[in-house]
Homo-oligomer: A and B are copies of this chain.
Amino acid sequence: MSLTVVGSIAFDSVRTPFGERERMLGGAAVHFSLAASFFTEVRPVGPVGSDFGASEFEVLERRGVLTDDIEVVESGKSFFWRGRYEYDLNVAHTEDTQLGVFGDFDPKLSAASQEADTVFLANIQPDLQRRVRAQCTRARFSALDSMNLWIDTAKDSLLAAISEVDCVIVNDAEIRQLTGEPNLARGARAVMSHGPRAVVAKQGEYGAALFTNESFFALPGFPLEDVRDPTGAGDSFAGGFLGYLDSHDGEIDDHCLRRAMGYGTVLASFNVEEFGTERVAALTRSEIDERMAALHAMTQFEPLPAPTE
Contacts and interface: CB of A to CB of B under 8 A. Distances in A.
Interface of A: 87-89, 176, 182-186, 189, 203, 205-207, 209, 215-220, 223-227, 248, 250, 255-256, 258-259, 261-262, 292-293, 295-306, 309
19 contacts: A183-B225, A184-B223, A218-B220, A218-B223, A218-B298, A219-B220, A248-B305, A250-B305, A256-B305, A256-B309, A258-B302, A259-B301, A259-B302, A259-B305, A262-B303, A293-B303, A296-B301, A296-B303, A300-B300
Contacts of A225: 183, 185-186, 189
Given A250-B305, A250-B309, A262-B301, 8 more contacts: A183-B225, A183-B226, A215-B297, A216-B298, A219-B220, A258-B301, A259-B301, A293-B303
B218 A255 contact: no
Contacts of A88: 176, 182
B296 A87 contact: no
A185 B298 contact: no
A39 to B, nearest CB: 13
Given A206-B206, A255-B309, A309-B255, A185 B301 contact: no
A205 B218 CA distance: 12
Contacts of A258: 300-302
Contacts of A303: 259, 262, 292-293, 295-296
Contacts of A302: 255, 258-259
Nearest to A304: B259
Contacts of A301: 217, 219, 255, 258-259, 261-262, 296, 299
Contacts of A255: 301-302, 305-306, 309
A184 B205 contact: yes
Contact of A217 (B185, B209, B298): B298
Contacts of A224: 183, 185
Contacts of A306: 255
Contacts of A248: 305
Contact of A299 (B87, B205, B218, B250): B218
A309 B224 CA distance: 32
- Interface centre among A226, A261, A295, A303, by most chain B C-beta atoms within 10 angstroms, is A303
A217 B305 contact: no
A186 B189 CA distance: 36
A227 to B, nearest CB: 7
A177 to B, nearest CB: 11
A21 to B, nearest CB: 20
Nearest to A90: B182
Q: Across the A-B interface, give the 6 residue pairs with the lowest CB-CB distance, nearest first.
A: A218-B220, A258-B301, A206-B206, A87-B182, A185-B223, A296-B303
